[in-house]
Chain A
Amino acid sequence: MNAAFTSKCSKVGSTLLRHFGNNISGILGKPCESVAKPSCNHIFSQQQQRTFIQMRTNLKVVDNSGAKRVMCIQALKGRRGARLGDTIIASVKEAQPRGKVKKGEVVYGVVVRAAMQRGRCDGSEIKFDDNAVVLVNKQGEPIGTRVFGPVPHELRKKKHVKILSLAEHIA
């Protein structure tokens, strides 16, 4: 596992390799899906500084639309980028062979998990392990028929009830 992990990491870059030892057990985020900004906090070098989902952020697709990985090309809201629950425009970078979505397509997606923390309505904060997205069409209806992993209940406020009802866990 160690060797495979190293080879995976070597593509990502030397910045992430510094975090290699800390990330190995995989509890706190996989480095391949982490947010693109590499400025690391040297006091707590375990984790990167998490930032917004901005142009060129790679996100995992957690539905069965056929796409595996997308890259954000535009955040539809927010000056600095998208956060948990926001909608983005993305380009499909990796896709499964016979899915509804092909590689290279431009799709809409809802950010259902974000590593950057987001304030909740009561003032506390929530953050997730990775950056994940569920692909939707322009009307906001999900393309796939399943949603994997936990999603936040804030999606209800964003009128994505369908995603919530498909989700396995709601956090």
Chain B
Amino acid sequence: MVVARWWWEEEDHDRPLDADVGWGSEGIRKYFDKHPIKNAVGDDGVRSIGRGVGFEAGLRGRRRAVTMRLEKCWFCSSTIYPGHGIQFVRNDAKIFRFCRSKCHKNFKMKRNPRKVKWTKAYRRLHGKDMTQDATFEFERKRNRPERYDRNVAENTLKAIKKIDKVRVAREARHHAMRMKGKKAIEQRAAAKELEQSIHMVKAPIALQQEPSLTLPKIKVKVSQSQAEGNMEE
């Protein structure tokens, strides 16, 4: 199995949400049988350093930490770029990262991200977003800094664009599928409302002919002489 290496965050398995989603590696295998990416790095066993790249670099004094790591917000699942947000370390060493104070405050209020409508977790859980797709399998966290290889870098950059395009197209298709029956439903609802409340509407001619249908005109005295304001209700 061949996988393009990238430094994005793997989904955090401690989260309640991801247990339900169930990423299968079957799809990706099929995808890559059809569209092989050449010169990518083989997926051998990833040795876990577990202490972060910066730590490792400082320990050996060999290289400075240059790897940029994009984390995912614990609450809203958006990408956290370096230098943004706050992280909270619980006493059992679980790290909660937040992209902004909004997410941090919601966490402090003990809100469940699966019940808050604007989070990715909610949208996934309620079928608003595409959940199972082979294109998501490329975003993975790898604890080993990759040795630079020009070919690999070039191919990865190419693959990213291609995968992105595929993903956007599939998301659009998913949205279209989700919204498929919406127009018909709206039309049906409108037709029903028209049928049920047509009696509230009168034709303009009928209003002119039958004065009892409109409210009577009330003449009001206005002190200013220039405008004879016809105050109609």
Residues of A within 8 A of B (CB): 22, 25, 27-28, 44, 46-47, 113, 117, 122-130, 149-150, 152-153, 156, 168-171
CB-CB under 8 A for A123 and B52, given A129-B91, A150-B93, A171-B93:
no
Asked whether B192 is an interface residue with its Cβ less than 8 Å from the other chain, the reply is no
Name 23 A/B residue pairs within 8 A (Cβ), A-sorted. Answer: A27-B110, A28-B110, A46-B108, A113-B89, A117-B86, A122-B82, A124-B83, A126-B86, A126-B88, A128-B89, A129-B89, A129-B91, A149-B93, A150-B91, A150-B93, A152-B89, A153-B54, A153-B55, A153-B58, A156-B58, A168-B93, A170-B52, A171-B95
Name the residue on A nearest B84 (C-beta): A124
B105 part of interface (Cβ distance < 8 Å): yes
A44 to B109 Cα, complex, angstroms: 7
Complex: how many Å from CA A123 to CA B87?
Answer: 11
* Bound complex: CA A25 to CA B108 (Å): 12
The answer for the CA separation of A27 and B91 in the assembled complex, in Å, is: 9
Which DSSP category, helix, strand, loop or mixed, fits chain A's interface?
loop
Give the bracket for the number of chain B residues in contact with chain A: 20 to 34
| A27-B112 Cα distance, complex, nearest whole Å | 14
**A123 vs B86: C-alpha distance when bound (angstroms):** 9
Q: Is the CB of A153 within 8 A of B86?
A: no
Q: How far is the CA of A149 from the CA of B93 in the complex (A)?
A: 7
B82 / chain A contacts, CB cutoff of 8 Å? 122-124
Alpha-carbon gap, A67 to B87, bound state (A): 29
User: B90 contacts the other chain (Cβ, under 8 Å)?
Assistant: yes
Known: A27-B110, A44-B109, A46-B110. A124 touches B87 (CB 8 A): yes
Asked whether A150 lies within 8 Å of B89 as measured between CB atoms, the reply is yes
Which B residues are CB-close (under 8 A) to A130?
Answer: 91
**Do A169 and B90 form a contact, CB below 8 Å, given A44-B108, A46-B110?**
no
Q: Which residue of A lies closest to B88 (CB)?
A: A127
CB of B172, distance to nearest CB on chain A (Å)? 33
Judge whether A46 and B91 touch: CB under 8 Å. Answer: no
A44 touches B86 (CB 8 A): no
| A2–B156 CA distance with the chains assembled, in angstroms | 55
Determine how close the nearest CB of chain A comes to the CB of B162; give it in whole angstroms: 31
Note all chain B residues with C-beta closer than 8 A to A113: 89, 91
If the complex has contacts A46-B109, A153-B55, A171-B95, are A126 and B84 also in contact, measured as CB distance less than 8 A?
no
Q: Please determine whether A123 and B93 come into contact, CB atoms closer than 8 angstroms.
A: no
> Is B199's CB within 8 Å of the partner chain A?
no
A170 and B55: CB pair below 8 A?
A: yes
**Known contacts A128-B89, A129-B89, A170-B52, A47 near B108 by CB under 8 Å:** yes
Give the complex CA separation of A124 and B84 in angstroms.
5
- Whether the pair B108, A28 counts as a contact (CB closer than 8 A) is yes
Determine how close the nearest CB of chain B comes to the CB of A60; give it in whole angstroms. 10
Contacts A153-B54, A153-B55, A170-B55 given: A126-B108 contact, CB under 8 Å?
no
CB-defined contacts of B54 to chain A, threshold 8 Å: 153
Taking a contact as CB atoms closer than 8 A, the residue among A47, A129, A153 that contacts B52 in the complex is A153
Interchain CA distance A124-B98 in the complex, whole Å: 10
Chain B residue numbers with a CB within 8 Å of A153 are 51-52, 54-55, 58
Q: How far is the CA of A123 from the CA of B54 in the complex (A)?
A: 15
Judging by beta carbons under 8 Å apart, are B90 and A129 in contact? yes
Closest to A171 in B: B89
Contacts of B109 in A (CB 8 A): 44, 46
| A169: contacting residue among B58, B93, B108, B110, CB under 8 A | B93
Minimum distance in angstroms from A124 CB to a CB of chain B: 6
Which chain B residue lies CB-closest to A153? Answer: B55
